Amino acid sequence: MTQLRIEFWFDFASTYSYLSAMRLDPLARAAGVGVTWRPFLLGPIFAAQGWTTSPFRIYPAKGRYMWRDMTRRTQALGLPLQQPDNLPQNSVLAARVAQLALGTPKGVAFCKSVYGAEFGQGRDIADPVVIRACLEQSGLPCDMIEAAQSDDNKRRLRRSVEEAMARGLFGAPSFTVGDELFWGDDRLEQALDWAVGHA
C-alpha cells in the first residue's frame, strides 16, 4: 500500500511558513499522511509577477495586519514570536543547507531550528553563524554550509524554484497533493484531508 503524502513547499523568509513548519508533523502523523519538505525561494516568483519585494512591504496595511495576525496565531499555538529587523530575510543560504539536511533524518529538526531562530528569536538567517548554530542544535555537521555552496546544490535549488513556478505556486506555505494545490497555513488541514480522501 502506497503511503499517503503531501508536499510542503516553504520559504524560510515566509512568516506563515513558520506556523506550518512548527505544527505540521503531529497533524500529519494523526492523519496518517507522510510529508515531503520542499524548500524553495519566493523571490524569483515575486519577480515574475513584477514585485521587487514581499507584498507585505508593498502594501503596508497588509504587513501591519500580518504581524497582528501572527501575534494572535503564535500565542494560540504557544510559539515565540520576535520580528526580525530585516524583512524579508535573505533565505538563500538556509534553503541550500536545508536541501542537504533534509536528506538526513535530522533535516526537519534543522528547518524548525532555522524558523525558531528567525521568527522566535529575531535572528538573521543569512548569517552563517546562525545557520551553523541551527546545524549544531539539530545534531548535523557544520560542514554542510560549505557543501551547500556546491554548483550542483545551487542548481538543485534553482530547479525546485522552476518546478514550483511550473506547478502554479505563487506563495508560501503551499501544500501539494499530486496536482492539487493548497496555499496558506490556514489550508494545511484541508490539504491533509484531501490527501486522505483522494488516495
- Cell numbers 546562525 correspond to what residue? 130
- Residues 147, 143: Cα–Cα separation, whole Å: 6
User: Would residue 14 show up in a list of annotated catalytic residues for this protein?
Assistant: yes
Length of the chain: 199
> Which one of 14, 20, 54, 138 is the catalytic residue?
14
15-54 burial code (b ≥16 CB/10 A, e <16): bbbbbbbbbbeeebeebebebebbbbbbbebbeeeeeeeb
- Residues 75, 85: Cα–Cα separation, whole Å: 21
Active-site amino acid positions: 14
